[in-house]
Amino acid sequence: MKFLLVEDNQELANAILSRMGLDGHVIDHATKLEDARAFVATGDYDLILLDIMLPDGDGREFLRQHRASDQDTPVIILTARSQVSDRIGSLDLGADDYVTKPFDHAELEARCRAVLRRKSGIAKTTIEVGGIAFDPVAGSLNIAGKEITLRNRELRLLELFLNAPGQVFSKQKLADRLFSYDDDVSENAIEVYVGRLRRHLQGSSMKITTLRGLGYRLGHDG
């Protein structure tokens, strides 16, 4: 998954980046609303983690504008404010959840998973299709009864394909979802990850097809 973290406390941001990165998530980090707006204007995100008190304004105004532009990206508010009125106000503006600082990082991760499940309309975490049983939360892949270990970006690449079977993803689109804004990524790197994932999927009825000049698509083999 690709997240946008909007947080000006560098110590807290580093902790979130480290924990989420261990799970294979790609995270862009903005310390100001101005930077957050630029990220949203140029990239697609599965989830936004949004602080309220930022150097150049109130995160709730960013949320209001985000929802007014018909953006449905899930947003979890991160704030030290614990009053019920603050929580209600943020939820009424369109926040999907609200986490009060200080928080346990395991709780934040669980809330992220819950929000993403609600967004996708999936009650359970395991995706089963074409002989594949894939749990993106546990990071497990089972094909024909065989457990397969995936590296982080292979895991997120498979998750991306399985969440949109039949959709064509260009190399640029895959790079945008698998790497952060600061990463230097070549097309060859995308080809390497797709090639690895193809080998992992052998034994299932799912296949990643190359559409010359367009990109890649996951579908049933044959």
Predicted TM-score (pTM) of the model is: 0.71
CB 182 within 8 A of CB 192: no
What 8-state DSSP symbol labels residue 87? H
Query: 198 phi and psi, to 5 degrees?
Result: -55, -45
- Can you read off the two tokens belonging to residue 74? 């899930």
Give span(s): CATH 1.10.10.10, the chain: 127-220
For the segment 92-134, what is each residue's pLDDT rounded down to a tens digit? 888 999 898 888 888 898 888 888 878 766 545 678 888 899 8
CATH of domain 127-220: 1.10.10.10
Q: Which CATH class is domain 2-120?
A: alpha beta
- The CA-CA-CA angle for residues 219, 202, 146, to 5°, reads 115
Give span(s): CATH 3.40.50.2300, the chain: 2-120
Query: Poorest-confidence range of 145-154, 157-166, 180-189, 201-210?
Result: 180-189
Q: What's residue 177's pLDDT? A: 84
SS3 category, 180: coil
Name the residue among 169, 174, 171 with its Cα closest to residue 187: 171
